[in-house]
């Protein structure tokens, strides 16, 4: 035997009828369903009539003083109940439980911060939000995804400027150092203006082919136009290139302190004066009140301000 169900146009269906169906199936009584929904029994009966027309099924039949659901109604009941419960939770909100929250937390941060500060953050997230997934993206990827104003990235750590809808909190400052390999054939502990002008550089473009304007201004102030031999997207790559060549490069102190011994790098004393570059935690207004995001930001501050 083949059972054919009526195809229902959801956009034409009054979704209040599903509330009636849920109440009638739970109470097994028109009168009790009316009390539950704070309407009159005739209103319930009218809604059931409309539901019968929409679904092409009797929905319920009378039996003594009560009603009996049809097989179609019993099939729909659990699905309708779950859907209504999900809608209620979405509208009313749920109590946030960090121990069970299955959320994806996305942070945009350059590789210097990933290298020096991300391990502490990962440990804190693992401890406080054990069922969460920490997702880390580079700066260029973050910008390609729409930045923190989009829907893919929750927070950013890096250089930031005041903008409408953006919250900021300063975390730390990066100090810019010039490095060379320890056994560089021409450079000792010092590199003056002439050396910085004559040596070839590895330059870092963190975001979409741009070098740091703060660093560029510092070189211009000395009248130096760098001879750039290699352009890389990360400070880690710059450090690795310097370790294997006679190039010099400018990188944050956090990269030097982490990699200098392993790669055999030397910090050069130079006349270059780059002011400390403030690094901010930034987030959009859209995530400001979310409890998972608020905890995420708290953990970032805890991990990165102390680093």
Domain ranges of the chain: 10-92, 104-173+280-305, 176-275
**Superfamily of chain region 176-275:** Periplasmic binding protein-like II (3.40.190.10)
Q: What confidence score (pLDDT) does residue 126 get? A: 96
The reported pLDDT for the residue numbered 198 is: 96
pLDDT reported for residue 22 = 87
Strands 155-158 and 104-109: parallel
The string of DSSP codes covering 17-59 is: HHHHHHHHHHHSSHHHHHHHHTS-HHHHHHHHHHHHHHHTS--
Residue identified by tokens 């369903």 is 33
- Classify each residue of 199-212 as buried b or exposed e, where b means 16 or more C-beta atoms within 10 Å of its C-beta: bebbbbebbeeebb
Q: Which pLDDT tens digit goes with each residue over 87-131?
A: 776 776 667 889 999 899 999 999 999 999 999 999 999 999 999
176-275: same fold as 104-173+280-305? yes
CA 170 to chain centroid: 19
* Exposure on the CB side of residue 23, measured as CA atoms within 13 A: 21
pLDDT of residue 41: 87
Distance CA 272, CA 47 (A): 79
If you classify domain 104-173+280-305 with CATH, what class do you get?
A: alpha beta
Residue in this structure with the two tokens 């179609």, named with its chain if needed: 72
Q: What is the predicted pLDDT for the residue at 8?
A: 56
Look-up: residue for tokens 């319920």? 60
**CATH number for the segment(s) 10-92:** 1.10.10.10
Q: Write the pLDDT tens digit of every residue in 179-193.
A: 999 999 999 999 999
Distance between CA atoms of residues 70 and 50, nearest Å: 16
Which residue numbers in the chain have pLDDT < 70? 1-12, 65, 89, 92-94, 208-209, 306-307
Are the C-beta atoms of residues 236 and 259 closer than 8 Å to each other? yes
């Amino acid at each position: 035997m083949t059972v054919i169900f009526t195809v229902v146009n959801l956009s034409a269906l009054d979704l209040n009828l599903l509330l009636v169906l849920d109440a009638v199936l739970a109470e097994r009584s028109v009168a009790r369903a009316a009390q539950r929904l704070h309407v009159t029994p005739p209103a319930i009966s009218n809604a059931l009539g409309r539901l019968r027309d929409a679904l092409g099924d009797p929905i319920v039949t009378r039996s003594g003083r009560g009603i009996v659901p049809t097989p179609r109604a019993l099939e729909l009941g659990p699905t309708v109940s779950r859907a209504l419960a999900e809608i209620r939770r979405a509208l009313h909100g749920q109590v946030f439980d960090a121990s069970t929250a299955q959320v994806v937390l996305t942070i945009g941060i350059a590789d210097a911060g990933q290298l020096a500060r991300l391990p502490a953050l990962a440990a804190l997230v693992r401890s406080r939000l054990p069922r969460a997934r920490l997702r880390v993206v580079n700066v260029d990827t973050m910008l390609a995804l729409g930045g923190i104003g989009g829907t893919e990235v929750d927070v950013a750590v890096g250089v930031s400027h005041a903008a409408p809808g953006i919250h900021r909190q300063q975390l730390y400052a990066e100090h810019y150092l010039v490095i060379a390999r320890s056994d560089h054939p021409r450079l000792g502990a010092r590199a003056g203006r002439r050396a910085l002008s004559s040596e070839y550089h590895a330059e870092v473009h963190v975001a979409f082919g741009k070098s740091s304007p703060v660093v560029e201004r510092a070189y211009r102030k000395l009248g130096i136009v760098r001879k750039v031999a290699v352009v890389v997207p990360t400070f880690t790559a710059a450090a690795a290139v310097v370790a294997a060549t006679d190039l010099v490069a400018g990188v944050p102190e956090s990269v030097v302190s982490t990699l200098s011994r392993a790669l055999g790098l030397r910090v050069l004393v130079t006349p270059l004066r780059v002011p400390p570059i403030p690094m901010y935690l930034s987030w959009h207004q859209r995530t400001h009140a979310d409890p998972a995001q608020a905890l995420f930001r708290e953990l970032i501050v805890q991990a990165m301000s102390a680093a």
